């Protein structure tokens, strides 16, 4: 059994799509969700799905020893960032080199980097009058949104789009592709 740990800070809709995709499988499962926000909606979502979710304090994320120990104790094969807004510390990157992936809601390198997350990204895409946007699934290294790209998936941006409308279209791409990319990585490892 290959085991996934999801790191998330917010709403958790991607985490939910991933959990549901692997529900009932005997080869891949979401083992645990780790968060840096105790009040994030993801905890309620995971509670309903029967997936344990744990909150760590800022200091614990910063030094990361307890987190690495937990990941090792749970025999985690892949760390999946899904709307995780804290920086991944070098200790975690060192232990899980090549086994941490992220999803970003634009076509990197456009509209990535520090401060670019969630609705800020969609607003920047619209402000730049892009005609297409999409998602980037990439490896995580120490540069924010700088790891090697695994795959990108595109959608149209309409002239009438608000950031909220574009976010919905991009979310649909995320829910479809992220679980499948995770599956393909784990089946090849």
Nearer to ligand GAR, 153 or 171 (CB): 171
CB 12 within 8 A of CB 175: no
Measured in Å, how far apart are the chain's first and last C-alpha atoms? Answer: 12
Cα–Cα dist 122/171, whole Å: 11
104 is an active site residue: yes
How far apart are alpha carbons 186 and 169 in whole angstroms?
27
Q: Which of 165, 172, 14, 2 is nearest to 78 (CA)?
A: 2
Does residue 124 touch ligand GAR according to CB under 6 A? no
Helices assigned H by DSSP within the chain: 13-22, 41-49, 58-63, 65-73, 90-95, 119-127, 163-188
Angstrom distance (rounded) from CA 30 to CA 33? 8
Name the residue among 153, 149, 145, 150 with its Cα closest to residue 169: 153
Site string for ligand GAR, 134-173 (x = CB under 6 A): -------------------------------------x--
Site for ligand GAR in 69-98 (CB under 6 A): 82-83
Q: Does 11 bind ligand GAR (CB under 6 A)?
A: yes
53 belongs to the binding site for ligand GAR (CB under 6 A): no
Sketch the per residue contact string, 102 through 121, with ligand GAR: x for CB under 6 A, - otherwise.
Answer: -xxx-----------xx--x
SS3 assignment, position 29 = strand
Q: Is 14 a binder of ligand GAR (CB under 6 A)?
A: yes
1 vs 128, which CB is nearer to ligand GAR? Answer: 128
Q: Report the residue from 3, 13, 95, 165 that binds ligand GAR according to the rule CB under 6 A.
A: 13
**Which one from 104, 111, 122, 177 is the annotated catalytic residue?**
104
Q: Which is nearer to ligand GAR, 77 or 174 (CB)?
A: 174
Sole residue written with tokens 């910063």: 62
Q: In sequence order, what are the residues at sequence separation of 6 or more whose Cβ sits closer than 8 angstroms to the Cβ of residue 158?
A: 165
The least distance separating ligand GAR from the CB of residue 145, rounded to whole angstroms, comes to 6
**Least separation in angstroms between CB 170 and ligand GAR:** 6
Answer yes or no whether residue 174 interacts with ligand GAR by CB under 6 A.
yes
- The residues that touch ligand GAR, with contacts defined as CB under 6 A, are 8, 10-14, 82-83, 103-105, 117-118, 121, 171, 174
The residues annotated with a catalytic role in the active site are: 104
């Amino acid at each position: 059994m290959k085991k996934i740990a999801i790191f998330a800070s917010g709403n958790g809709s991607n985490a939910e799509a991933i959990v549901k995709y692997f529900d009932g499988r005997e080869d891949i499962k979401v083992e645990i969700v780790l968060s840096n926000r105790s009040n994030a909606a993801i905890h309620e979502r995971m509670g309903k799905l029967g997936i344990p979710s744990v909150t760590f304090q800022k200091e614990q994320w910063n030094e990361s020893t307890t987190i690495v120990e937990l990941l090792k104790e749970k025999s985690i094969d892949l760390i999946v960032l899904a709307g995780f807004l804290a920086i991944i510390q070098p200790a975690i990157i060192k232990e899980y080199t090549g086994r941490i992936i992220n999803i970003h809601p634009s076509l990197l390198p456009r509209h990535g980097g520090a401060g670019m997350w969630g609705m800020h990204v969609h607003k920047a895409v619209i402000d730049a009058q892009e005609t297409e946007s999409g998602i980037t699934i990439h490896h995580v290294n120490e540069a924010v949104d700088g790891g090697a790209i695994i795959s990108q998936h595109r959608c149209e941006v309409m002239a009438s789009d608000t950031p909220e409308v574009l976010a919905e279209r991009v979310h649909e791409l995320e829910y479809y592709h992220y679980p499948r990319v995770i599956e393909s990585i784990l089946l090849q490892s």
